[in-house]
Structure 1
Amino acid sequence: MSAALQLQDSRERFYDRLMPESIITPNHDWLACMLASWCDGAGVLPDYLGLEPQHFKVLTNHYFPSVNFPEQAPSGSKLDYSRMLEKDDLVNLLKLYSKETPETDWMIAIIVAGSLGSDHLWQDLGLWSRPQLSAMLHYNFPELAAKNNKDMKWKKFLYKQLCEAEGIYVCRAPSCEVCIDYPKCFGAED
């Protein structure tokens, strides 16, 4: 059996143990996917999923009260700390498009931590597919997600939003459609 299939199988078994009969909110399901991956060493999320320790405890007790999670990332963190300069800007961008709730604040912290990884955002978060990430962003940040009307890769889209907010336009082409890097921004994320 390939390593990818073993990871998927192990992750899915852990996910099945996490999910009760009823789902509290759609975030409940996505968090279960991310935690199953995180506990299996997939993704790049750091200790406490990038949350403050007390917030991690509240989140896990709220959604998964009968499960004891490790506090430290089982695989060790694989974050690109050179992107830390934009961390506050990314938090502020996501807050601008969200409702002020503890659940949304948790999701913002986790998304920002995942944004420091070097793969596609859905992979760095430990989600199982790009459509899961799209649904999660549309649920938590509907107005921001709607701006991605050409289906740009999410991490590129978020950082492009930061650049545009600062009036920085680094693209060489007058529009994405004529850019030679189009496949890097809009191609498949397998």
Structure 2
Amino acid sequence: MATFAMTRERIFRELVERSNRSGNAIWLARMIASWRVGEGALPDYLGLSPEQFNNLRSHCFSDIALPHLAVSGKTVDYSRMLEKQDLETLLGDFRAPDVAETEWIIAILVAGCLGSDHLWQDLGLWSRSELSGLMSHNFPELAARNNKDMKWKKFLYKQLCEMEGLNLCRAPSCQVCQDYGLCFASEESTSVIDQVERNFNRDA
């Protein structure tokens, strides 16, 4: 576990030190550092197209050679993601106009939504608060709508339902819903380090 943490930290520090210091640099560096050691759910190219991946690298981390293959070997199957275009449209409609990296952030977020854990974990971020910061920076008006602190993956899909005029929740309000904890419970209890430690103990 210590080796994993040190390796990820080293990659992260190198990325930040040689980044363009943009508002997204730290979040992208954290995601890439996790991806480089096999954590998170992001596939090859971080879920970007090869062209997008190269453009992101050139823009944010021009002096660093980044491998394009995911160490985890994970892939994304967009054929089972009927909402892919809708998610891209939702995020695109709310993107901050003056943030250069948001095009790539959108593609990475959509790829992360195919993961099975909390969105911040699937992205390889190190805490939920980092995802909240990323959302506020890149999609400020959309992030402001999450004023009840709903889990981000749940929140994004709720926005899609509302766009289609759908209401899949039977409860009159979130506060009285028996599934309240599924949408609003803390996501910080399961960190990436916790996952690694559990996997290590399981395989030992």
- TM-score by length of structure 2 reads 0.86
Alignment partner of 1:33 out of 30, 36, 54: 30
Alignment of structure 1 residues 1-190 onto 2, 5 Å: 3=1, 5-20=2-17, 24-77=21-74, 79=76, 81=78, 83-100=80-97, 102-189=100-187, 190=189
Q: How many residues are aligned here?
A: 187
Q: CA deviation at 1:80?
A: 6.5
> Per the alignment, in what secondary structure is the counterpart of residue 123 of structure 1?
helix
Q: CA deviation at 1:24?
A: 2.4
Q: CA deviation at 1:90?
A: 0.3
> Per the alignment, in what secondary structure is the counterpart of residue 101 of structure 2?
helix
Closer/same/farther in 2, CA of residues 118 and 97 from structure 1, 3 Å limit: same
Residues 79 and 118, structure 1, Cα contact 8 Å, conserved in 2: no
Closer/same/farther in 2, CA of residues 81 and 33 from structure 1, 3 Å limit: same
Q: CA deviation at 1:186?
A: 0.3
Q: AA paired with 2:7?
A: S
Q: What are the ranges of 5 or more consecutive residues in structure 2 without an aligned counterpart?
A: 190-204
Identity, % of aligned pairs?
58
Residues 80 and 118, structure 1, Cα contact 8 Å, conserved in 2: no
> Per the alignment, in what secondary structure is the counterpart of residue 127 of structure 1?
coil
Residues 42 and 74, structure 2, Cα contact 8 Å, conserved in 1: yes
Closer/same/farther in 2, CA of residues 6 and 82 from structure 1, 3 Å limit: farther
Closer/same/farther in 2, CA of residues 70 and 90 from structure 1, 3 Å limit: same
What RMSD over aligned residues (CA atoms) do the two structures have, in Å? 1.7
Q: Using the alignment, how far apart are the partners of 1:42 and 1:106 within structure 2?
A: 19
Closer/same/farther in 2, CA of residues 154 and 83 from structure 1, 3 Å limit: farther
Deviations 1:28-82 (A, max 9, x none): 1100000000001000111111111011011112211221111111111154657
